[in-house]
Amino acid sequence: MRSRPIVTDDTKQEITNYIDDFPFSTDRQLVSQKDIAGIPHWHYEIQISVVTSGSVIFRTPGGDFYLEKGQGIFVNSGVLHEIISTSDENSEYICINFDPHMLCGQSEKLIQKKYIDPLLACKELEELYLGKEEWQKKICCLAYKVGKLSDKESFGSELSIKVLLFRIWEIITLHNQDYLTRENAINQVERERQDIFLEYIHSNYMHHVMLGDIAQAANVSRGECCRLFKRAQNMSPMTYMAKYRIRQSIKLLACTSLSVAEIAEQTGFKTSSYFTECFKKETGLTPVKYRNIYYHIDEQR
């Protein structure tokens, strides 16, 4: 297992190299090495990290997680995160990155729909501290075994790694069932309508959108639209759209030098002041302060 510098493109996406047929990697990261700490980055792959010596701070939009030896963190797909060094010298952690869709093949759509996609989309599971509960400690132990298997590169190691990743995924889903079963209670017709609602919002959030527009996209009444949305997302369509707009604005704050006013306009907010009000209500910070804290971009715009 090697140590690998964290290299990003201009959108802060980490540049990684995987074998196409097995999108998985493990690294043993020494925090004191160059290009490891202090680099905010994201990637489409799931990341599970476990501290093997000293202590490490993982910074995410959900807060700072101080991890000691034997403790770890789960970081979901697309979530910005950063390693922060502590006073401990020679702090080290193993880092496992994998494409979650490697857990299901073309013939396993049920697995993807029931267990993979809901977790990837779960706001409550953007990150998950691993180390307090016994099931969390079990995940850390399994992740450590994955790292050991990766070192061996023996015949059959890919099979063993996939089995362990399945086991990790199973533990996470079983212990977060309430979050992940909301959408699974919806029948197929409702699911299709929900997909239409989401596609419409994701394609039109930057414009002026009303509840009637979302409902009309699936040819249902506004009341039915609200009922279906509440059942699937546990919130109203307009609340979901407001949160989605905020998520898109966070990406622009991180990846561009656009002003707050320009970001407000591009994400469907009527004015920059209303955008700031909504952003602060959702995150507890103004857009400028959020940009400064998490992305280390100068406040002057």
Domain interval for residue 275: 186-295
Read off the CATH number of the domain in which 127 is found: 2.60.120.280
CA distance 218 to 67: 46
10 part of a folded domain: no
229 part of a folded domain: yes
194 with 176, same domain: the answer is: no
173 with 29, same domain: the answer is: yes
pLDDT band at 301 (very low <50, low <70, confident <90, very high): very low
235 with 283, same domain: the answer is: yes
4 part of a folded domain: no
Contacts of 223 (CB under 8 A, 6+ apart): none
123 with 192, same domain: the answer is: no
Q: Considering the entire predicted model, what is its pTM?
A: 0.62
pLDDT band at 284 (very low <50, low <70, confident <90, very high): confident
Looking at the structure of the chain, the number of domains it has is 2
The position carrying tokens 């991890």 is: 67
At 23-51, the pLDDT tens digits run: 898 999 999 888 899 999 988 889 999 99
Q: Which of 180, 208, 238 is the last residue of a domain?
A: 180
132 with 258, same domain: the answer is: no
For residue 138, the one-letter residue type is K
pLDDT for residue 168 is more than 50:
yes
At 67-95, the pLDDT tens digits run: 999 999 999 988 889 999 998 888 999 99
56 with 152, same domain: the answer is: yes
176 with 222, same domain: the answer is: no
191 with 270, same domain: the answer is: yes
29 with 153, same domain: the answer is: yes
**Any long-range contacts for 59-67 (C-beta under 8 Å, 24+ apart)?**
59/83, 59/84, 59/294, 60/126, 60/127, 61/126, 61/250, 61/283, 61/294, 62/126, 62/127, 65/127, 65/129, 67/93, 67/131
174 with 228, same domain: the answer is: no
CA distance 227 to 220: 11
- Please give the pLDDT value at position 185: 56
13 part of a folded domain: no
At 176-195, the pLDDT tens digits run: 998 887 655 555 677 788 88
CA distance 177 to 201: 27
49 part of a folded domain: yes
- Please give the pLDDT value at position 273: 93
234 with 165, same domain: the answer is: no
Q: Which of 125, 147, 180 is the last residue of a domain?
A: 180
8 part of a folded domain: no
- Please give the pLDDT value at position 60: 92
Give just the sign of the alpha carbon dihedral 219, 220, 226, 229.
Answer: negative
282 part of a folded domain: yes
CA distance 104 to 225: 31
175 with 71, same domain: the answer is: yes
266 part of a folded domain: yes
pLDDT for residue 294 is more than 70:
no
CA distance 53 to 89: 9
Q: Which of 148, 180, 212 is the last residue of a domain?
A: 180
Read off the CATH number of the domain in which 273 is found: 1.10.10.60
- Please give the pLDDT value at position 150: 85
